[in-house]
């Protein structure tokens, strides 16, 4: 074995280790989002979370679970499973069934983001002389989206003398700064979620076309341009979270972008291998 070959093998091993470390971190984020959703749900669903409103209470958790599963499916299709196996009807329909469930729940999660958006915009001015008179053990103040603290004698004075608003459907109040922050982040959630849906739709088309030998020429260029626009939107969302949002949202967005760069690299290598195979058999 030559020195160059050994270094190549080492580089490949480090690459694979880094890739799957990113996937593991994204899996761990499921737990982090569950903790955050559970904490926020105690304020936004004071009467308790039921089956019918679970998607609204645990939108980020449900979304992340299904995205992780979908990511692993793309990894299987573009890196691990051979073309011949992918063409097997049992494998094809099994992957399709899992994918269909994931997409259904992801789209449902997008509905959850819209529900939260409309909740944060369903507000009315809060006309009260003494904010501290609202302390009842249930009323909470908005810090930003999914971050609320119960109104207490210690923190209620921080809202005194400010223009205040109340979420009509919940026991939540906030000043203009906190409410605007929450509403802005709700917009970013929707943009981010819909952009990711666009990315995976294009990737699904790419995988199908690659299996049929059609991913080349104009079709490849159009796919590349559309994905460039969508990935740019995702980077902007990540930057917004980094500057104005929470650390968890920024960290999660960064990991997802890196993870799908790996999927794109898998697809690129798959294309190269297919082209080389076609050239050698010609």
pLDDT in tens, 101-132: 999 999 988 988 898 899 999 999 998 888 88
- CA dist 217 and 3 (Å) reads 38
**Mean pLDDT over residues 143-159, rounded?**
86
Query: What order do you get walking across the sheet with 164-167 strand by strand?
Result: 123-125, 164-167, 172-175, 140-144, 147-150
Question: CA-CA distances (angstroms) from residue 108 to 188, 194, 242?
Answer: 17, 12, 26
52 DSSP assignment: T
Output the pLDDT for position 282.
54
Band the pLDDT of 279: cuts 50, 70, 90. low
- CA dist 50 and 37 (Å) reads 14
Between 248 and 25, the more confident residue is 25
**Mean pLDDT over residues 260-276, rounded?**
86
Band the pLDDT of 3: cuts 50, 70, 90. very low
């Amino acid at each position: 074995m030559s020195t160059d070959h050994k270094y190549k093998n080492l580089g490949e091993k480090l690459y694979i280790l880094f890739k799957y470390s990113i996937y593991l971190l994204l899996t761990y984020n499921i737990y982090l989002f569950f903790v955050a959703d559970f904490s926020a749900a105690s304020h936004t669903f004071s009467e308790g979370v039921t089956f019918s409103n679970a998607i609204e209470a645990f939108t980020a958790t449900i979304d992340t679970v299904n995205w992780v599963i979908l990511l692993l499916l793309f990894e299987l299709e573009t890196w691990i499973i051979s073309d011949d196996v992918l063409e097997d009807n049992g494998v094809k329909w099994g992957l399709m069934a899992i994918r269909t469930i994931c997409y259904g729940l992801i789209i449902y999660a997008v509905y959850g983001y819209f529900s939260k958006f409309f909740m944060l915009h369903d507000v009315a001015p809060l006309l009260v002389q003494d904010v501290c008179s609202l302390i009842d053990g249930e009323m909470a103040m908005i810090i930003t989206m999914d971050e609320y603290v119960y109104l207490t004698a210690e923190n209620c004075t921080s809202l005194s003398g400010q223009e205040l608003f109340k979420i009509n459907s919940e026991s939540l109040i906030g000043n203009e700064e906190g409410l605007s922050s929450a509403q802005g982040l709700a917009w970013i959630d929707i943009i981010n979620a819909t952009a990711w849906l666009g990315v995976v739709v294009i990737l699904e088309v790419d995988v199908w076309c690659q299996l049929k030998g059609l991913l080349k020429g104009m079709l490849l260029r159009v796919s590349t341009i559309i994905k460039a626009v969508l990935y740019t939107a995702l980077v902007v969302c990540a930057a917004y979270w980094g500057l104005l949002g929470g650390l968890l949202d920024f960290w999660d967005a960064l990991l997802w972008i890196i993870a799908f760069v790996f999927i794109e690299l898998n697809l690129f290598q798959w294309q190269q291998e297919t082209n080389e195979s076609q050239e050698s058999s010609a």
